[in-house]
Structures are given as structure tokens and as C-alpha cells.
């Protein structure tokens, strides 16, 4: 549309992720949008347990641990995630999960947080001002606590697009950058889902 930014959707080669303060989240991630080409650089492992936080206004979840993924996809290393005060910062390719506890060197699906959100309000503040064209700063809900399969990423990760070899339903609360913001609903076998938002491209989400 006329309001879209002057950039090509599939031409991004560099993408810096923004800081993000999130009050309620199961998974946060930073990466390139589908269709964007990027070089894979194999590096060392990233810290798995960067810290703890709390969910403001909640007595049910006073202490939340953050668990960082080692693999963004099978054979594709994940980027680092930092916890600074109440802020979660995901770097390029980084992904983190909310959990009851974090144990360095071990991933257990029973450790992940399963929030009871029915009848409640989910609010958070995010800063995507450094996420440019082709970037996807995401915040989404998936059923990892119920995912007994360790997955090809070795951390029980699941989503509707079978990224790590395990499918589950997915609610994309945020798929965004500084030019666009989309939300989507997916059943476990519906990778495209039903999506809506502003800016960018939403078909075949």
C-alpha cells in the first residue's frame, strides 16, 4: 500500500532486534521473515538461563525463569537473549521461553510455564524500533509444557509450522517490526493460519 515503507520484503540482509519488555509471554523470538536470505554462522552455545523476572500485577506468577533456546531450527544455532531488569532482549535468531525454573544444560517440558489466561487480560510493552525490513520480532503462545517430544531442537519446542519437527497450536500475539504488526491464529496443522494486521504482507502468513 501507499503507507508501506520504501523497502523490499525479500531483500533484507542485516536485521537488528529491539529490546522488548514483556509482561506475559510463553515464547519470544527474533529473526528474519520467511523468504529472506541470510548466511548462517555457526557459533558457540548461548547462555541458557539468563535470569528471572516477575509478571507485574500477578500473584499467580511472582517468579518467572527465562529459558533460552540453543537452536533456532535444527542445525541452525540460536542467538543470545539478555534479561536486564524487567526487560527481555532477543538478539538475531534468539528465542526464549517462560518457565517455572531453568537448569543450565537441561531442557524439560514440565519446567515450562503454562499460564491460565482464560478470562484474564494479557498486556505487555514492546520496542521494535530497531527491527527493520524483513525482520520478525515475535511474541507467541505455544503448548510446550504439554510437548513431551524433545523435538529436533532438543528443547521440546513446537509450533504450527513444524520448525523443529513437532507441531502444536500457535497463537501469534505479535509478529512485527518497525513497519508492520500482525497477529495470527494457527491450529497445529495450519501453518498459514488466520492473520490480520497493519503493513507488510499477510497472505500465507
More confidently predicted of 140 and 7? 140
CB 50 within 8 A of CB 83: yes
What is the reported pLDDT for 146? Answer: 95
**Mean pLDDT computed over every residue of the chain:** 81
Tell me what pLDDT residue 27 has. 62
- Tell me what the mean pLDDT of segment 2-7 comes to: 42
3-state secondary structure 96-145: EEEECCCECCECCHHHECCCCCCCCCCCCEECCCCCCCCEEEEEEEECCC
Average pLDDT over residues 7-13: 37
pLDDT tens-digit readout, 161-189 = 999 999 999 999 999 999 999 999 999 99
Report the pLDDT value the prediction gives residue 25, as an integer from 0 to 100.
38
With bands split at pLDDT 50, 70 and 90, how would you rate the model's confidence at 63? confident
Bridge partners (DSSP) of residue 112 are 99
pLDDT value, residue 33: 53
Q: How much is the pLDDT for 19? A: 33
pLDDT at 119 over 50: yes
Cα 89–Cα 153–Cα 93 angle in degrees, nearest 5 = 30
Given pLDDT bands bounded at 50, 70 and 90, which one contains residue 203? low
Is residue 30 over pLDDT 80? no
C-alpha angle 102-104-108 in degrees, rounded to nearest 5:
55
Over residues 188-192, mean pLDDT? 93
So what's the pLDDT on residue 134? 87
The pLDDT, as a whole number, for residue 53 is: 85
Segment 15-42 mean pLDDT:
44
> Cα separations (Å) of 74 from 52, 153, 155, 164?
27, 5, 11, 6
User: What local confidence, expressed as pLDDT, does residue 87 receive?
Assistant: 87
Tell me if residue 179 falls in helix, strand or coil. Answer: coil
Give the pLDDT band of residue 54 (cuts 50, 70, 90).
Answer: confident
Amino acid at each position: 500500500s501507499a503507507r508501506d515503507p520504501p523497502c523490499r520484503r525479500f531483500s533484507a540482509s542485516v536485521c537488528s532486534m529491539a529490546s522488548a519488555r514483556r509482561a506475559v509471554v510463553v515464547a519470544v523470538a527474533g529473526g528474519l521473515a520467511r523468504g529472506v536470505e541470510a548466511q548462517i554462522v555457526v557459533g558457540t552455545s548461548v547462555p541458557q538461563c539468563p535470569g528471572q523476572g516477575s509478571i507485574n500485577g500477578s500473584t499467580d506468577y511472582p517468579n518467572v525463569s527465562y529459558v533460552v533456546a540453543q537452536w533456532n531450527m535444527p542445525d541452525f544455532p540460536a542467538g543470545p537473549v539478555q534479561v536486564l531488569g524487567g526487560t527481555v532482549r532477543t538478539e538475531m535468531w534468539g528465542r526464549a521461553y517462560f518457565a517455572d525454573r531453568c537448569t543450565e544444560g537441561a531442557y524439560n517440558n514440565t519446567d515450562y510455564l503454562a499460564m491460565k489466561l482464560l478470562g484474564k487480560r494479557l498486556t505487555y510493552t514492546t520496542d521494535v524500533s530497531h527491527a527493520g525490513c524483513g525482520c520478525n520480532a515475535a511474541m507467541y503462545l505455544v503448548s510446550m509444557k504439554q510437548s513431551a517430544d524433545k523435538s529436533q531442537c532438543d528443547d521440546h519446542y513446537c509450533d504450527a509450522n513444524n520448525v523443529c519437527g513437532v507441531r502444536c497450536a500457535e497463537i501469534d500475539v505479535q509478529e512485527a517490526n518497525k513497519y508492520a504488526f500482525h497477529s495470527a491464529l494457527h491450529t497445529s496443522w495450519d501453518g498459514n493460519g488466520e492473520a490480520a494486521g497493519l503493513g507488510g504482507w499477510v497472505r500465507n502468513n
